[in-house]
Structure 1
Amino acid sequence: MENPHYKSTLEEKGFSVLDRMYSNAEIDALISCIEKAAADKKLDESSTNLFAIRQVITKIPELKPLLFTEEFHALLKILFNETYFLTKAIYFDKPSESNWFVAYHQDLSVSVDRKVDVSNYKNWTFKKGQYGVQPPLNILENIVTIRIHLDKTEKRNGALKVIPTSHLKGIYRPETIDWNTEAEHVCEVEKGGVMLMKPLILHASERTTNHKQRRVLHLEFSTKQLQKPLNWLEFDATF
């Protein structure tokens, strides 16, 4: 891999950036696959403006061989010492027509296949036809998010802002951030690059100001199963 230190950087700082993982041709194939599925109206979210596709690999299985390249498999094997699996896959498009601002937060919810009373699982939600819940801290600490950038992403088109090392502080409420001790970092990523992050890192994004798209495939991986009878909604180890 291009950066031998990205795994330790991820663990220490909560994020890391690899500027080149996919070629332009590979990125174009991913974009074409998504656009074709939308044009064929295979997606519930299909509309004139397509801003997000949840469970994107379930809905567009043709993405799998395009996403899980030999280099991507090599990345996963370095990141995980145990058997790993996919737990979530979302496609985000941040065009100027849907120009949202996201305040600082942690990703505290996971998608599960049912709602059931289980010890230490709390803050249940039901959105877009799926259940979400906040699992125990050790589950959240185990997750690694891999964001594949289909466009060059910079500060002016919604690059993520993060607070380095904030993932090491457990549940960290944004309203308690002490800007006298914390520093903000903007994660700019090249087209075809990948951003690695821990879901507990405090992160945010600004509105787009340069009228350029910021398309991202957001994948989450884990090595830990949930407490039964709960299961990961998008559990997939077949890649």
Structure 2
Amino acid sequence: MESLRSAGYAVINDVFGTEEITGILDTINNIDTSGPAFRKTNDLFAIRRFLKEVPGIRPFIFTNRLREIISQLFGKDYFLVKSIYFDKPEQSNWFVAYHQDLTISVDQKIPCEGFDQWTIKNDQFAVQPPIALLENIFTIRIHLDDTDENNGALKIVPGSHRKGIYRPETIDWNKEQEVVCNVPRGGIMIMQPLLLHASNRTVNNNKRRVIHLEFSDQQLPGGLQWAEYLALNNFT
């Protein structure tokens, strides 16, 4: 898709129907959220390693329609490497400043050339890989609610994914353009991790529930392993 290559993002409407979204939400509402992968605050509810923690959700997510989109846009060699569920409540004051997604999640810390800035949170290792690896990842965000500038729709800087490591404090707004990516319920946003993006506070008392999925077609070097690894033919 030309807009994805040039601008770093694309929005596709009507990928998921009412029945599929209901199945997703019913499954989430009936799980035990007491484990370490679940983050619950007044401003945010999140499930890390979502497809591992809630395996029953997979048939509702990896529909024929989504598989077709992945296959057409990226081919058959990509596999899932990260999954998160976000629920930004109606009165959330949580916001995210402009940033790029510069880290990947791995199963353990192994020193490896080109991989640095190691962190660990809730038994999850993250590391910044070589930029070439980041350039080959794509993210799909499944929107379970109508999302616009009033309830935390992503703001992005088109084309910023083609500028390498782009520090937010160096953005020249005389040259760059900000775009708000409104996505209706059942739609998806596809984006490159290096795309500068941000999210405002919710001001309209509407939820913003999103499933965040990251895909790659590259195995990691030096004994490193993705923290999540699921091939498309396992999404059943």
Same fold (TM over 0.5): yes
Asked whether the equivalents of residues 43 and 59 of structure 1 are also in contact (C-alpha less than 8 Å), the reply is: no
Contact residue 158 and residue 177 of structure 2 kept, 8 A: yes
Question: RMSD between aligned alpha carbons?
Answer: 1.5
Q: 1:139 aligned to 2:133? A: yes
Percent pairwise identity: 51
**Aligned-partner residue type, residue 98 of structure 2:** Y
Q: Which residue of 1 aligns with 2:59?
A: 65
Q: Does 1:53 align with 2:47?
A: yes
Partner of 1:4: none
Matched, 1:219 2:194: no
CA–CA separation in structure 1 for the residues paired with 2:40 and 2:136: 35
Give the structure 2 partner of residue 111 of structure 1: 105
- For 1:215 and 1:81, the matched residues in 2 are separated by 28
CA distance in structure 2 between the aligned counterparts of 1:189 and 1:24, rounded to whole angstroms? 15
Other-structure match for 1:149: 143
Q: Secondary structure at the match of 2:55?
A: coil
Residue identity opposite 2:2 in structure 1: S
Give the alignment of 1:142-221 within 5 angstroms.
Answer: 142-221=136-215
Structure 1 segments of 4 or more deviating over 3 A?
40-44, 46-50
Q: 2:10 aligns with which of 16, 31, 35?
A: 16
Q: Separation in 2 of the partners of 1:204 and 1:163? A: 9
- Check the 8 A contact 2:39/2:46 in 1, yes or no: no
- Among 11, 24, 47, the alignment partner of 1:30 is 24
1:96 deviates by 3.5
**In 1, Cα distance between equivalents of 2:114 and 2:137:** 17
**Deviation of residue 27 (structure 1)?**
0.6
Segments of structure 2 that go 5 or more residues without pairing to the other structure are: none
Give TM-score scaled by structure 2 length.
Answer: 0.94
Equivalent runs, 1:61-140 vs 2, <5 Å: 61-140=55-134
Normalising by the residue count of structure 1, what TM-score does the alignment of the two structures yield? 0.93
Q: How many residues are paired up?
A: 231
Deviation at 1:97, TM superposition (A): 4.4
Task: Output one character per residue of 1:63-117: Cα deviation in whole Å (capped at 9) or x when no partner.
Answer: 1111000001101101213511000000001113442111000000100011111
Distance 2:108 2:40 in 1: 28
Distance in 2 (CA, whole Å) between partners of 1:124 and 1:83 is: 27
